Chains A and B, each alone.
Chain A
Amino acid sequence: MGVMKRVTMVFRAKANKALDRMEDPRETLDYSYQTQLELLQKVRRGVADVATSRKRVELQLNQLQQSSDKLDRQARDSLAAGREDLAREALTRKAGVQSQLGDLQEQYASLQSEEEKLTQASQRLQAKVDAFRTRKETIKATYTAAEAQTRINEAFTGISEEMGDVGMAIQRAEDKTAQMKARAGAIDELMASGALDDMVSGPHDDIQAELDRMGATGGVDHELERMKAELAQSAPRQIEGSQAGTSDGASAQPASAASAPDPAQAGDPE
């Protein structure tokens, strides 16, 4: 018979069962209209719920992105300070955060699409409910109960199909939102426990601590190294240019004499 026909029959059976329960066909119209309005409310709440979930995930995405950026900076700072071991640790942690980010971005996209679908479903249902209200008044004003039966049946079956469809869409969105909530809760817990954010900003941020320590004490050594390297680079040019400039270099940076020996200086004891 085909999937399409069988699904349609299931929808129709639902509508027919509801129709059979009604004594006066015109009563059906008012009752159904009430149910439609309730469903509209439910869809709107659904849209709001999905949006709330989406915003929460958005916040977490931002937090994780900040963590990733910070780890990246720390890796660079570590490398600049000649600490490849620290840089490697920072990059390893960054990779962990990135993988969480990728996961969350997928979920975010899925929530966004769910929100869009529900919003459109809500608009479709609204249009049908408006049409149904008009039809309902016309039928009640124009026909006797017996005459109205066929028209009522058609309108009812049509709107009932839409309601069934929208109802399933809400169910799907609720399921996805529930999954997301559980997931977002798990990430919040991870962050609260320090497993995620402590790596970079908490009290146990050992990479930053090491960098800070190096900034306070080791930074001097690092600065010296840097200056030595600069001197080593500029020294040959000075020899080529003018021999007289050598004594300036010696007085400005005595500590560098050993590692950046200047042949001209050594040969000139004053």
Chain B
Amino acid sequence: MIVRILGEGQLEVPESEVAGLNQLDATLESAVERGDEASFRPALAALLAKVREVGSPTEAGDLRPSELIIPQPDATMDEVRKMLTDDGLIPG
């Protein structure tokens, strides 16, 4: 499965790791929904660390779209919230 880290590029992640990623993602999502800044940052960091650990970068000219997209490491909670609702954050 292809996963994109915004601002960094795409990684190929084995299907067997997706469940683990989803678990970390659930923690992140609940932090965003609760507006819980204190648990938001470590949750995002943990998710990113896991993806980097289990993923390997795709070829530079690979045109396949990603199945999962993760916000950039320094994204604020506000930015992530806007990304979820397409609040004009993504150009085009």
**Which residues of A are in contact with B by a Cβ distance under 8 Å?**
1-8, 10-15, 18, 35, 117, 121, 123-124, 127-128, 130-132, 135, 154-155, 157-161, 163-165, 167-169, 171-172
Contacts and interface: CB of A to CB of B under 8 A. Distances in A.
Contacts of A155: 63
A7 B65 contact: no
Contacts of B29: 1-3
Q: Determine which residue in A2, A3, A159, A172 has the highest number of CB atoms from chain B within 10 A of its CB, and name it.
A: A3
A123 B57 CA distance: 14
B9 interface: yes
A224 B9 CA distance: 72
Interface in B36-73: 47, 60-72
A168 to B, nearest CB: 6
Interface string B1-45: 001101101000000000001100110110010000000000000
B78 interface: no
A3 B80 contact: yes
B91 A167 contact: yes
The secondary-structure label for the interface of chain A is: helix
A198 B70 CA distance: 50
Contacts, number: 110
B63 A164 contact: no
Interface of B: 3-4, 6-7, 9, 21-22, 25-26, 28-29, 32, 47, 60-72, 80, 83-86, 89-92
A8 B60 CA distance: 20
Given A3-B28, A8-B69, 15 more contacts: A3-B25, A3-B29, A4-B47, A4-B69, A8-B67, A10-B83, A10-B85, A13-B86, A117-B7, A121-B7, A128-B60, A163-B92, A165-B4, A168-B91, A172-B72
Contacts of A124: 9, 60
A18 to B, nearest CB: 7
Given A7-B83, A14-B86, A161 B65 contact: yes
A164 B4 CA distance: 12
A8 B92 contact: no
A172 B8 CA distance: 14
A10 B90 contact: yes
Contact of B84 (A6, A15, A163): A6
Contacts of A35: 92
A230 to B, nearest CB: 61
B63 A132 contact: yes
- Top 6 A-B residue pairs of the complex, sorted by shortest distance between their CB atoms: A131-B61, A167-B91, A127-B60, A4-B68, A158-B63, A2-B25
A8 B68 contact: yes
A235 B28 CA distance: 80
Contact of A3 (B32, B62, B64, B86): B32
Contacts of B25: 2-5
A211 to B, nearest CB: 47
Contacts of A165: 4, 6-7
A198 B9 CA distance: 48
Contacts of A157: 65
A171 B65 contact: no
Nearest to B60: A127
Nearest to B18: A4
B64 A158 contact: yes
Given A4-B3, A154-B63, A164 B84 contact: no
Contacts of A167: 90-92
